[in-house]
Structure 1
Amino acid sequence: MSHGVTERIEEQREFFAGQAVDAEALGRLPAETTERVKATGVIRLLQPPEHGGYAADPTDFMEAVMALANADAAVGWVAGVIGVHPWEMAFNDARVLEEVWGQDADTWVASPYAPNGVASPADGGFIFNGNWEFSSGTDSCDWIVLGGLVKGEGLVDGIPQMYHFLLPRSDYEIVEDSWNVLGLRGTGSKDIIVSDAFVPDYRVLNATKVFDGTAALEAGRDEALYRMPWSAIFPVALSAAVVGICEGALACHFQHQATRTSMLGPMSKNPYLSSRVGEAASEIHASRSQLLYNLSNMYALAQKGTEIPLEMRVASRRDQVRAARRAVEALDDIYIRSGGGATRDEHPLAKWFRDAHTAMNHTIFAADDMYHAYAAMMMGQAPTGFTRLLV
């Protein structure tokens, strides 16, 4: 990889692992951590090259997210969330790209996309209001993309027409002390409030066009990366973070188990414990391989200029969900074989366990809908509504 991002992450690995406790206590990434993540270049992997990005193979990005997550869950999760935003930013008006990156290519953009905002049309734009939860890494960001609806608009194909509104840091409030949670505490995924902010037309994207690829075409982006479907970028990044977290938990278990003893002797010599952990390690590796295999196949089609079939996109979403769930199920098997000491708050394995299970509460991992969508499609029933929009 010519960009060298993974190598720079490995050089900083000890630092990222060492700051995990401080980030958890602070409830956000410390400023030094943010700067060191920026220095790796991971957030610029999906960024357009004319604004300091690499427009890289998306598998490079996912592997970088996993590498960060298996050092510290919060760092990996924030990188996964923040790092996908430059991909969508590439579809914006040239004025937006200059405003965000003109002075600093390492400027970060937060989210969430949940359509909680209401926009009232005004001369040249919209007056925007709303409340959002779960803005991961938001303290480290200078801009934010927020989902919303336009007041007075009806349904399109039975669902509300959603939009993404881009606001500078001066136009929204981060609600302090709004991220008191079981795990991923260091992500600082705080609440956001917007009150009567004016958003000009050129800072608004039609979310449906982002999801279905029209936004990339209208923006004139012909790079293979930007021909990838949204469902092959954003959800995969979160699955990659979860897999990385589980890899970190596995490494932590081996370190802990190597010196753990009981009245029966060294735990490292117990074949019943070790055999199940060996199986769990294979399950985590299978999750990694499945994510990268599917993504690589889709990217190969995008490089050829071939449209990625709906069947492939739905199967990929199915596997994104299953890969994350499989990895966390494997972590559970590891955790219950790590002894009572691993249940203490101060034990590092307890943190990995909490972080992984908190991550799985993200709506992107809702399994039944994706499993049903795939099975139904194989029986001739194409996905509809929100499910169709998000694949």
Structure 2
Amino acid sequence: MTKQVLHTITERAEEIRALGSSNEALGRLDDQAAKVLRESGAIRMLQPATHGGLEVHPREFAETVMKIASLDGSTGWVAGIVGVHPWEMAFADPKVQQEIWGEDQDTWIASPYAPMGVARPVDGGYVFNGRWQFSSGTDHCDWIFLGGFLGDDEGKPVQPPVSMHLILPRSDYEIVEDSWDVVGLRGTGSKDIIVKDAFVPTYRTIPYSKVVDGSAAREAGLTNPGYLLPFSCAFPLGITSAVIGIAEGALAHHLAYQKGRVQVTGTKIKDDPYVLYAISEAAADIEASRCALLENVSRMYDAVAAGREITFDERARGRRVQVQAAWRAVRAVDEIVARSGGNAMRMDNPLQRFWRDAHMGLAHAIHVPGSVFHASALTQLDIEPPQGPMRSMI
């Protein structure tokens, strides 16, 4: 049934919303918040059907993440991040898929993908070491994707660098408690991860280059267009959707708070044309961000469904859409928060939490505009796009 997860989330909206303060106090998702996500099927939306997944259109995944994030930013963030990992796991060796989902199709997979470790080749696989930050939702996950560089016999990265994604069970890595003390998205529990001399068999690895160029999906025999999307479209989708959903939640709380508010001057908000103008402008900008992100993924989905390869220029423009959508939405939040009065910043007012969560989400690496806008502008000018790190997020 289409939209089934979104329907379930809507039915349990009050429960998700009420758990927001508990998530923040715990520094991770409350067990009940994680339970709601599991029971809704939100994390299985992009999971292959062969292992109980729903294989929904990525637009539907984005819409659902937005809804969850509008209720609580941390819950939406975890849904967006952890929810995209089954998308890549669909490319992996069937043996590791069976290890993860064979007994429990609701097993969650954490990350991060940043190549902060080194994998030294040994017989049958690699010996892996490293430390990573920002493993969102990790307390509720039993496996993890970690980025690493291929090492030489001495455990030093080979040159030029070769990036890999390695898959490890919970027994092979340490979650560093008290490593997530931040201003926003506190409930995501995005803690540090340490790996010491873990053996990772070859079948639990995926070359990053094959994920980026799409060959991993083709070699896995996948035909659902959702799996043929560029990594640079699919991976940021859950993250940017969460930021836009947080902005929608901020707007909803702002409206509820302002409806009966009287300013110190005695003016009712409904009689203040400047605040009313700011509300409408912010609402329009947040809606524009939502529409742009959904149109972007739908357009790319339609292209790959038609059998067409997405060009670098299209990927660059798509990333520009994603980045700008996030920044536009958070700027809109700033405009309404600035007109909410001092009481909106009290800790018992959810608006301040959405404001903090929005800015924390904007700080994610995929929302840094510099290299994305640089590459997009060059391609629009019909100039050779940059090489190396300047195109790493595209």
* 1:18 counterpart = 2:18: yes
Q: Secondary structure at the match of 1:116?
A: strand
2:187 match: 186
Q: Which amino acid in structure 2 is aligned with residue 175 of structure 1? A: V
Alignment match of 2:281 (pick from 254, 279, 290): 279
Q: Is the CA contact (8 Å cut-off) linking 2:150 and 2:158 kept in structure 1?
A: no
Q: Is the CA contact (8 Å cut-off) linking 1:211 and 1:390 kept in structure 2?
A: no
Deviation at 1:38, TM superposition (A): 1.0
Q: Which amino acid in structure 2 is aligned with residue 37 of structure 1? A: L
Alignment match of 1:300 (pick from 276, 296, 302): 302
The C-alpha deviation readout for 1:9-44, integer Å capped at 9, x for no partner, is 101111110000001000000111111101111111
2:172 match: 171
**In structure 1, distance between residues paired with 2:388 and 2:215:** 18
Deviation at 1:293, TM superposition (A): 0.7
* 1:240 counterpart = 2:241: yes
1:229 match: 230
Q: Is the CA contact (8 Å cut-off) linking 1:162 and 1:206 kept in structure 2?
A: yes
2:123 match: 123
Matches within 5 A, 1:52-91: 52-91=52-91
Q: Which amino acid in structure 1 is aligned with residue 193 of structure 2? A: I
2:99 match: 99
Q: Secondary structure at the match of 2:164?
A: strand
Q: Which amino acid in structure 2 is aligned with residue 154 of structure 1? A: V
* 1:36 counterpart = 2:39: no
Q: Is the CA contact (8 Å cut-off) linking 1:89 and 1:97 kept in structure 2?
A: yes
How many residue pairs match? The answer is: 388
Q: Secondary structure at the match of 1:265?
A: coil
Q: Is the CA contact (8 Å cut-off) linking 1:373 and 1:383 kept in structure 2?
A: yes
Matches within 5 A, 1:126-165: 126-152=126-152, 154-156=158-160, 160-165=161-166
Q: Is the CA contact (8 Å cut-off) linking 1:328 and 1:357 kept in structure 2?
A: yes
Q: Which amino acid in structure 1 is aligned with residue 366 of structure 2? A: I
**In structure 1, distance between residues paired with 2:174 and 2:204:** 18
Deviation at 1:390, TM superposition (A): 3.5
1:330 match: 332
**In structure 2, distance between residues paired with 1:3 and 1:66:** 13
Q: Is the CA contact (8 Å cut-off) linking 2:3 and 2:60 kept in structure 1?
A: no
**In structure 2, distance between residues paired with 1:31 and 1:387:** 40
Does 201-210 or 1-10 show the bigger shift? Answer: 1-10
Q: Secondary structure at the match of 1:233?
A: helix
The C-alpha deviation readout for 1:86-119, integer Å capped at 9, x for no partner, is 0100010010110000011110000001101111
Q: Secondary structure at the match of 2:83?
A: helix
**In structure 1, distance between residues paired with 2:122 and 2:3:** 43
1:198 match: 199
**In structure 2, distance between residues paired with 1:389 and 1:285:** 29
Deviation at 1:387, TM superposition (A): 4.0
Residues 1:309 and 1:131: Cα distance change in structure 2 (over 3 Å): same
**In structure 2, distance between residues paired with 1:2 and 1:354:** 33
Deviation at 1:174, TM superposition (A): 0.4
1:114 match: 114
2:387 match: 384
Q: Is the CA contact (8 Å cut-off) linking 2:366 and 2:393 kept in structure 1?
A: no
Deviation at 1:169, TM superposition (A): 0.5
The C-alpha deviation readout for 1:326-381, integer Å capped at 9, x for no partner, is 00000000000000111222321111111111111111111121111111112222
**In structure 2, distance between residues paired with 1:260 and 1:389:** 47
Q: Is the CA contact (8 Å cut-off) linking 1:77 and 1:241 kept in structure 2?
A: yes
Q: Is the CA contact (8 Å cut-off) linking 1:208 and 1:389 kept in structure 2?
A: no
Q: Secondary structure at the match of 1:22?
A: helix
Q: Is the CA contact (8 Å cut-off) linking 2:111 and 2:144 kept in structure 1?
A: yes
1:363 match: 365
The C-alpha deviation readout for 1:153-192, integer Å capped at 9, x for no partner, is 5344xxx211011110111110111101001000000000
Q: Secondary structure at the match of 1:15?
A: helix
**In structure 1, distance between residues paired with 2:180 and 2:385:** 38
Deviation at 1:135, TM superposition (A): 0.3
Q: Secondary structure at the match of 1:261?
A: coil
Normalising by the residue count of structure 1, what TM-score does the alignment of the two structures yield?
0.97
**In structure 1, distance between residues paired with 2:218 and 2:317:** 24
Q: Which amino acid in structure 2 is aligned with residue 188 of structure 1? A: G
Q: Is the CA contact (8 Å cut-off) linking 1:29 and 1:187 kept in structure 2?
A: yes
Alignment match of 2:290 (pick from 288, 291, 294): 288
Q: Is the CA contact (8 Å cut-off) linking 1:230 and 1:390 kept in structure 2?
A: no
Q: Which amino acid in structure 2 is aligned with residue 136 of structure 1? A: S
Residues 1:361 and 1:206: Cα distance change in structure 2 (over 3 Å): same
Name structure 2 gaps, 5 residues minimum.
none
**In structure 2, distance between residues paired with 1:255 and 1:242:** 20
**In structure 2, distance between residues paired with 1:301 and 1:22:** 42
The C-alpha deviation readout for 1:292-342, integer Å capped at 9, x for no partner, is 111111111111121122222110100100000000000000000000111
Q: Secondary structure at the match of 2:374?
A: helix
Deviation at 1:74, TM superposition (A): 0.2
**In structure 2, distance between residues paired with 1:32 and 1:383:** 46
Name structure 1 gaps, 5 residues minimum.
none
2:375 match: 373
Normalising by the residue count of structure 2, what TM-score does the alignment of the two structures yield?
0.96
The C-alpha deviation readout for 1:247-303, integer Å capped at 9, x for no partner, is 000000000001211232322321111111111100000000000111111111111
RMSD value, Cα:
1.2
